[in-house]
Amino acid sequence: MLATPHFSWLGVRRKCPDKTVLMTKSYGLGRFPGPWGSMLADPVEALVVAAPHVARWRITACLDALMTRKIRFPGGRLFPLYSRDLLNRRIDRLPPTSRAVRRVRAALDDAAQGAWSPTESLTRLIIIAHGCPPPALNFHVVVDGADRYLDLTWPESKIAVEYNGADHLDRRQYGDEMYRRHRLEDTGWRVRYVVWEDLIDPGRRHLLLEWLSQHLGQQR
């Protein structure tokens, strides 16, 4: 899928003799300026095309991103955020019986504004599936006069889960992160730091959810 250029066409049916290129009929949701003078399909239409090939949580992560990040076009112009209402209206224009469309619509039920990365979306979905209350995303706190944004939080309980990705491998950055962690804890926050293995390994995932349930006062 990733190695095959995918084009959509409008109007008269197009034919392409090149077997290494995939061409499908567009749903006609609109076009947006892309690199090198090209035109790109509406992100919702592109997501429907990709939906049969990716995990459900990844579709939700894409929808999270559409509601959280502005799309930057060539030249620096930003496209406004997609609201949940706009996403629903886009999906309403697509074939309602399509399995891919139904898959995207179902994933939208789990989507939330405020996630800054796919792994934040995945962590949130795992936590909610466990029965914990939905967290606030990238909650703003001020520690030592500096702004911080905690990935997933329950502000009333001062509980937070922070996902550490590959950008935390630098030794100096790691040291700064540990200092900020201790300062957060000094102000009353209880923080659980997780990495990818904590999400995909059943035993480690269980320990994360146990910790969270205990600190939120949840009963297993």
- Are residues 101 and 187 part of one domain? no
> How many domains would you assign to the chain?
2
Do 160 and 192 touch, CB atoms closer than 8 A? yes
Beta carbons within 8 Å of 63's beta carbon, 6+ residues apart: 47, 87, 104, 107, 108, 111
Higher pLDDT, 7 or 60: 60
- Do 207 and 140 reside in the same domain of the chain? yes
Helix H or strand E encompassing 130: none
From 25-29, 105-109, 122-126, the region with the lowest mean pLDDT: 25-29
The pLDDT confidence band at residue 106, using thresholds 50, 70 and 90, is very high
Average of pLDDT values for 8-21?
A: 78
Domain boundary pick from 108, 139, 163: 108
Distance of alpha carbon 164 from alpha carbon 15, whole angstroms? 47
Residue 52 has pLDDT above 80, yes or no: yes
Distance between CA 128 and CA 4 in Å, rounded?
35
- 94 and 131 both lie in a single domain: no
Q: DSSP letters along 96-129, please? A: TT-HHHHHHHHHHTT--TT--SHHHHHHHHHHHH
For residue 82, give the amino acid letter: Y
Stated length of the chain: 220
Amino acid letter, residue 172: R
pLDDT averaged over the chain? 88
Report the CATH number that the domain containing residue 186 is assigned in CATH. 3.40.960.10
The answer to whether residues 18 and 51 belong to one domain is yes
Distance in Å from the first CA to the final CA of the chain: 40
CB neighbour burial string for 111-132, b if at least 16 within 10 angstroms, e if fewer: bbebbbbebbbbbbbbbeebeb
Greater model confidence, 69 or 74: 69
From residue 197, alpha-carbon distances to 29, 55, 164, 214 in Å are 39, 18, 11, 21
Q: Residue 108 and residue 88: Cα distance in Å, rounded?
A: 8
211 lies in which domain range?
118-216
